[in-house]
Structure 1
Amino acid sequence: MAVPPSPLLADRFASRPEFGRTDHLLVDANPAATWKALRGLDLTELRGGVAGFAVWFREAPERWRAREHGPARERTRLTWDDLDAGTDWMILGENPGHEIVLGAVGKFWRPVVKWVPCEPRDFLDFATPGFGKVVWSFTTHPYGERRTLLSSEIRVTLTDPQAWLNFRRYWRISTPAVSLISRAVLRTIKHNAETGGRAR
């Protein structure tokens, strides 16, 4: 008998994305260890200098705009919970041991992103024209007896045709950086799951 597909929390927030990307990585660790590494990830320790540069480059306009306020405080740690508590990103939902979903609302295509404060309960119904909604989910699935399939999926929906056109142009040039960051996150989780977080 066929096994019914497992529902995804990401489907609740972006069931019909207009743009998206999915990356997978096979982890030589069980789902429990992989989930622990995923949930405890520190984004300041992403593996791969190119991905780090992509993050730095994307945030450069905001840092330049705020230069009159003095040097920005360097983060020493940045977890999913830190993102949720201290940035315009939010944890939309979590299925412990299997999936975590983050989201943000804004005009991502602008040189200085215009973020919109939004609560998770309001994310699905947000429809103000001119904006985009991004959903970033991570899932873990058993793969055989002792390995785990780790997935990262980014889904984007836009609130009107003009926002769609603006984002399409941005997506074409930003996809390489988005890909680097997504794969760097997966590689870091894989490394931490397989080594218990120990440096190699």
Structure 2
Amino acid sequence: MSRLLDPYMPRPDVSDLHEVMVEAPAEFVFRTACDFDMESLAAVRAIIRLREVLLGAARKERRPAGIIEDTLRMGWGKLEEEVGRHYAAGAACRPWEGNVVFHPIPAEQFSTYAHPGEVKITWTLEVEALAPARSRLTVETRAAATDAAARLKFRRYWRWASPGIRLIRRLLLSAVRRKAEREWQRRA
């Protein structure tokens, strides 16, 4: 686990971290990641659609947008940002519901938020410069239920949903790496 999310969620029920090395400068990789449209990937769209079908969710029309803009539109709140280095977001929701609604929680209230029946979720985009044109891109997600009933529902959901969620993270990192390296090489 990275330490960026510790002030917001030091003891998660679930923690998931993925990283990839990128042959491009950290700030360039960060910008590429923030502006990347996850749903530009057919496999990601298929996983999202499968979740909608399994949970009976209504299809939502969306405008193509980068990760940051897209998640803010969905209801996530920004917890912290250091431009060019990291971005952290968080929300409360009931992810086991088909038409999940994300509620932003102010950063200063996130760690103590305890509305019954919900799960708090945090995620990051982090970039570490390893050399002038080499970086490590990391995404971390943490989740913690606000009570025992929500924890039970979340565990049931996570058991079947986590493989798709983890695959989305890996697909995202690979696609951002390819795009950042390709565009950096064009500029170099």
TM-score normalised according to structure 1 size: 0.79
2:96: which partner in 1?
109
Q: Aligned to 1:52, which of 45, 51, 58?
A: 45
- Root mean square deviation, CA, Å: 2.4
Q: 3-state SS of the aligned residue for 1:183? A: helix
Q: What is the distance in 2 between the residues matched to 1:166 and 1:142? A: 39
Q: 1:132 and 1:74, CA in 2 relative to 1: closer, same or farther beyond 3 A?
A: closer
1:77: which partner in 2?
65
Conserved 8 A contact 1:191-1:197? no
Q: Aligned to 1:21, which of 12, 16, 21?
A: 16
Q: Aligned to 2:4, which of 9, 19, 25?
A: 9
Aligned-residue offset at 1:82: 3.7
Conserved 8 A contact 1:44-1:78? no
Q: 1:144 and 1:164, CA in 2 relative to 1: closer, same or farther beyond 3 A?
A: same
Residue segments in structure 2 that go unaligned for 5+ positions in a row:
none
Please give the per-residue CA displacement for 1:126-159, whole angstroms capped at 9, x wherever unaligned. Answer: 2011110111111111224531111111100111
Residue segments in structure 1 that go unaligned for 5+ positions in a row:
1-6, 65-71
Conserved 8 A contact 1:104-1:135? yes
Please give the per-residue CA displacement for 1:142-194, whole angstroms capped at 9, x wherever unaligned. Answer: 22453111111110011111211111121111111011111122122212211
Q: Aligned to 2:80, which of 93, 104, 115?
A: 93
Please give the per-residue CA displacement for 1:85-129, whole angstroms capped at 9, x wherever unaligned. Answer: x22222221121211112121111233425445444443332011
Q: What is the distance in 2 between the residues matched to 1:133 and 1:184? A: 24
1:162: which partner in 2?
149
1:33: which partner in 2?
28
Aligned residues: 182
Conserved 8 A contact 2:18-2:139? yes
Please give the per-residue CA displacement for 1:66-89, whole angstroms capped at 9, x wherever unaligned. Answer: xxxxxx5342334412421x2222
Q: 1:185 and 1:197, CA in 2 relative to 1: closer, same or farther beyond 3 A?
A: farther
Conserved 8 A contact 1:106-1:116? yes
Conserved 8 A contact 1:31-1:147? yes
* Rg larger in structure: 1
Q: 3-state SS of the aligned residue for 1:63? A: coil
Q: What is the distance in 1 between the residues matched to 2:34 and 2:64? A: 17
Conserved 8 A contact 2:37-2:64? no
Q: 1:197 and 1:179, CA in 2 relative to 1: closer, same or farther beyond 3 A?
A: farther
Conserved 8 A contact 2:22-2:137? yes
TM-score normalised according to structure 2 size: 0.84
